[in-house]
Structure formats: structure tokens, C-alpha cells
Homo-oligomer: A and B are copies of this chain.
């Protein structure tokens, strides 16, 4: 059996997990998948990490260029992360005619087209299952088992950190306390911006939407809101109305355009995604033939991500070993427009803090009516102090831009002290 020689760049937690699997299962992969994987060279910023992971000294090199320049290496596994040197590693590898496996969502969501162009030009593959949803198979299913479907929607809980935080907030804890707990547990980073502001999820839904709709979606195309304005009370109000709140990454195909966004979302409590709690991830896909389906699993962690990376490595190695060539390259064959958020038609949850006196509801309702926003339900929980009132609205379907304009006017009303939380509602 022909050996498939791997060059590894990057040895953080996922790289460590990858080396663990290779060490443990090399012989199984020979027997079960018919591939003989060999780590030929490896490098990372701190070379001692590679030794600690059991990489023989003779395989450790100081620069990734030694990997790119080695004609014996078939495949480069890029696990550096970020958009700095990782970009050079991937592009140099592809341009040197080496297959690439990466977990890098940031690059795939911003420079996918360029990478696929380079891969195509040099007749090699680029695989990135681990870039979304950790170990959950989702990119392969979209490109293969579900390929017969016209996909109309992809809805995902794709950020474990914020899902853990929202799950804890649902129990009544405050955002700040939950963030601290998440940081202590290692679920959130010291600077949690990328997670809590939704940027991480935005990169992932850009990747999924590109594949699902056969049209390039960039991270910058994704309308993005984070979870920082959600209050524990919002969960209580949501529960009262039969909903829960998740940070959803959402992509729809609507009238030939792509509606793609990340924001806190109210979903019915009985929706499959409502039961995805803690650091787990899930991606819900709607296709014209398959109907609704969902892929659930661990969205983070060394083992889960390494499972996906190694799955890609074995897949590419099978193609190399059987000399089969590439059957699926870039799938972005179409060029659909991105639909701006203002055109979105959806329902809204809104919490307003106002003076506790008659006429508030009338004033607010009047503004809504003027912009064609119809109210489906309103609750007014009792507030202890007797001076402020909380009004919770859920609207019927309205245009996002109309709702936002109405909201700006409501904020100016004398009787309104504060606009609390606004959460879009997804019923599908």
C-alpha cells in the first residue's frame, strides 16, 4: 500500500488531538479505510509541544516552508488558525500541488474562492469539515448525501460558548456571572468578543450557506448581532409564551436571494434546536426532498475537531491511494445576491421599560400601527417599584426595516424609559 505522507502545521489542542488519533488508530485506518497515513514532517510555534505529543525529533522542522518544499509530502494539515500565517500555509501548500485539510473557519469564510481557485489550478483538494460544528458531519452531508435537495434553510447553533451561556442564563443567572463561569471553565476566552458578538457563528454560517446554496457567502455578508443585551428575564418571558432563546446562525434562500444572519432568536420550546443545550452544537437543514433534518454533536473540544480533521485526511488519502482524482471541488457555481437585513420579514419579541401610567400601550401601539407592525401578543409583568412598567410584545410578521424605524420612534416617546431587548422570532 502506498504511504500517504502528511505535513502538519500547528499543534494546539486540535493538533494534539489529531496526533493522538493518528498514533492510536494508524493500523485501524490501514485495515478499515485502506490508507497508510504517515506523519512526515511537523512544525508549530513552540516545537517542544510536538515532542510532548510524541512526534519523533527527526520529523520536527523549524519552518512550514520545509514542509511545503518537501516533494514527498502529499497533504498539509493546517491547524494554526486565524488569518495570518495560516493563509500563507494553505495557499503555499495548494500552489505546491499539495492537498490541504484545515479547521480554519476564518479563512474559509473570507478567502474560500481564492483557495478553491488555487486547488483547482493545481489539481488538489481542500477539505474543511472541522471548520463548522466541531466533529459534527455537516459539510460532507451537504456536499454528498443531501446533494439531491434544493436547500431552503440552514439554522444552526454553531457556537458552543454562547450556547452554554444562554443555557445557564435560562436558569436565571446574569450575563456577567455566566461569562465569568464560562471563562473559568475554559469555554470562553479572556477576550470573549468573537463568541459573544456572534462573529465566530457568522464565519460558520457563511461557510454553510455557501455550500447549501451553491453560491459564495462571505463572513462580511452576514448580518451579525451578539448575545450581550439578553437578560435572564427575557428567558422567563419567552418561556411564558412557549419559546426559548438561542443564538442562531440562519441562512434562507428567499426568492433567489440569500438571507443570512446571526442573532439571538426566539424559537418554539418544542423545536429540536430548543433542546440543544450547553456546549453542544446542532445544524438544522431544510431540503425540498428530505424535509427537516438535524445534525447534533460536540461543537468544540480537541477530540471532536480532530475527529473531523482526521476524517478529511482519510478521505483525501483514499483518493490519493486509489489514484481516483477529485470528484467534488468548489460547489459555488451560482452567484446569488445577499438580501439585506431590512428586507427580512419576521416576527419580533420586544421588551420596553416605560413609565407605569395609563396611555403607554396606546402610544406604543400607535407608532407600531403607523409602520404596519401588528402586535400578536402583549404581556405586562408586574414590577415592584410602582414607577416603571415592563411591556413585552410579540409582533406578527413585519418588515425588519419597518420594525427598526418604529423602534427608533418608540425610543423617543416621553413615556418610554428604555428599549430593553429585541429578539427576532423564528417559527419554522
Q: Which residues of A are in contact with B by a Cβ distance under 8 Å?
A: 17, 21, 24-25, 28-29, 31-33, 129, 135-137, 140-141, 144-150, 214, 272, 275, 287-298, 301, 303-304, 306-308, 310-311, 313-315, 318-319, 321-328, 331, 333-334
Inter-subunit contact B148/A289 (CB<8 Å)? no
Inter-subunit contact A17/B140 (CB<8 Å)? no
Min Cβ gap A22→B in Å is 9
- With a cutoff of 8 Å between Cβ atoms, the chain B residues found around residue A321 in the complex are 327
Given contacts A145-B137, A275-B272, is CB(A297)–CB(B292) below 8 Å?
yes
Name the residue of chain B whose CB is nearest to the CB of A294: B296
Given contacts A144-B140, A148-B21, is CB(A333)–CB(B31) below 8 Å?
yes
Given contacts A318-B327, A334-B31, is CB(A145)–CB(B308) below 8 Å?
yes
Inter-subunit contact A137/B135 (CB<8 Å)? no
Main SS at interface, chain A: mixed
- With a cutoff of 8 Å between Cβ atoms, the chain B residues found around residue A328 in the complex are 33, 318
- With a cutoff of 8 Å between Cβ atoms, the chain B residues found around residue A129 in the complex are 145
28 contacts between A and B (CB under 8 A): A21-B148, A29-B148, A31-B214, A32-B331, A32-B333, A135-B146, A135-B289, A135-B290, A136-B290, A136-B293, A137-B137, A140-B140, A140-B144, A140-B145, A141-B145, A144-B315, A145-B308, A145-B311, A146-B307, A146-B311, A147-B315, A148-B307, A148-B310, A148-B314, A288-B303, A291-B298, A292-B298, A319-B327
- How many angstroms from the CA of A252 to the CA of B376 in the assembled complex? 49
- With a cutoff of 8 Å between Cβ atoms, the chain B residues found around residue A325 in the complex are 322-324
Inter-subunit contact A303/B315 (CB<8 Å)? no
Min Cβ gap A293→B in Å is 3
- How many angstroms from the CA of A372 to the CA of B394 in the assembled complex? 58
Given A136-B290, A144-B311, A322-B324, 20 other A-B contacts at CB below 8 A?
A29-B147, A31-B214, A31-B334, A32-B147, A33-B328, A135-B287, A136-B293, A137-B145, A137-B293, A144-B144, A145-B308, A149-B307, A290-B307, A291-B304, A294-B295, A295-B295, A322-B326, A322-B327, A324-B324, A324-B326
- With a cutoff of 8 Å between Cβ atoms, the chain B residues found around residue A331 in the complex are 32
Inter-subunit contact B135/A17 (CB<8 Å)? no
- With a cutoff of 8 Å between Cβ atoms, the chain B residues found around residue A315 in the complex are 144, 147
Min Cβ gap A298→B in Å is 4
Min Cβ gap A151→B in Å is 11
- How many angstroms from the CA of A389 to the CA of B275 in the assembled complex? 37
Min Cβ gap A326→B in Å is 7
Inter-subunit contact B296/A291 (CB<8 Å)? no
- With a cutoff of 8 Å between Cβ atoms, the chain B residues found around residue A289 in the complex are 17, 21, 135, 303-304, 306-307, 310
Inter-subunit contact A28/B150 (CB<8 Å)? yes
Inter-subunit contact A291/B287 (CB<8 Å)? no
Min Cβ gap A333→B in Å is 5
- How many angstroms from the CA of A28 to the CA of B308 in the assembled complex? 28
Name the residue of chain B whose CB is nearest to the CB of A135: B290
